[in-house]
Amino acid sequence: MIDKRKLKLLIAAAALFVIVTVGISIFLIIRSQLYSATLFIEFTPISSSARLEGDFHQTLAQGENQIRPGSYTVFVKKDGFAEFSTPLTIADGDWRAIYAILDPNREDTMDWYENHPEDAELRDKLADRIHDPNTPELQATIADQTPPGVTFPVFGPGVTYRIDYGQSPTRPGGFALFGTYYNAVGYELLQQQLKSYTTAPGLSYEIILVDETEEAETGERDPDFFSE
């Protein structure tokens, strides 16, 4: 027969277990609702520190981080390296990715990547990813930052021009509009179309023009080709 005192202790322990379990469940539900956006970040050197500053403050780990929706600046720092920072605006349910490669800026760190093969391997991987136009994070950014009602690529009438959206070849982690024109008419129409994008509220693009005219191939061009 179970002692009454022991029975009371067992009942109390069971009740406490239920209360704690329910409390943790409620906490996780509330937290999942508050931290409803996902930031994926990778950085090298691996020993760097990453932090979110803005509407809220949060230390970031390599990989996926659940964060609150809001406007932030992401910082990645390590002593002896140039600081990395980039703005981030993220909404409820959004997924974003940031890749940071820190550059040595002190004499005693200049050979860091040569002496730390794991960091060097990650640096090369991130460099490839930054410039890969087919990554999911690029597609997510395209969906978030394209002008309203626009789906890329955009084609001009006939064979005149096209506009693509992709990774910037000059700014790691940045994005750009690539305007390709095939003739003089395409050049003029392209300029007009790009102007409408770059004046859209809240949007700012790097513009890269790609010349694929016959004149560009032969090196011969009418001096009036780029007429105003």
Q: CA 83, CA 75: separation in Å to the nearest integer? A: 7
Percentage of the chain beyond pLDDT 70 is 63
Contacts of 38 (CB under 8 A, 6+ apart): 64, 65, 66, 67, 94, 95, 96
Count Cβ atoms within 10 A of the Cβ of residue 30 and give its class: 0-12 exposed, 13-18 middle, 19 or more buried.
exposed
Percentage of the chain beyond pLDDT 90 is 17
Summarize pLDDT for 31-51 with one digit per residue, the tens. Answer: 444 678 888 888 999 999 999
- Say how many residues make up the chain: 228
Q: Is the dihedral angle over the CA atoms 16, 17, 19, 20 positive or is it negative? A: positive
pTM score: 0.49
The closest alpha carbon to 39, from 2, 103, 94, belongs to: 94
Delineate the domains of the chain, giving CATH numbers in brackets.
34-130 (2.60.40.1120), 144-218 (no CATH)
pLDDT (0 to 100) of residue 213: 78
Buried b (16+ CB within 10 A) or exposed e, 110-124: eebbeebeebeebbe
- Contact between 109 and 80 (Cβ < 8 Å): yes
pLDDT (0 to 100) of residue 147: 60
pLDDT (0 to 100) of residue 228: 36
pLDDT tens for the chain, 228 residues: list them: 556 676 667 776 766 766 767 566 555 455 444 678 888 888 999 999 999 998 889 999 998 899 988 888 889 999 999 888 888 888 888 877 788 888 888 899 999 999 999 999 988 887 766 655 455 555 555 555 566 666 777 888 887 888 887 766 655 556 677 888 888 888 888 888 877 765 544 455 567 788 887 755 444 444 443 443
- Contact between 88 and 73 (Cβ < 8 Å): yes
Q: Is the dihedral angle over the CA atoms 20, 22, 25, 29 positive or is it negative? A: negative
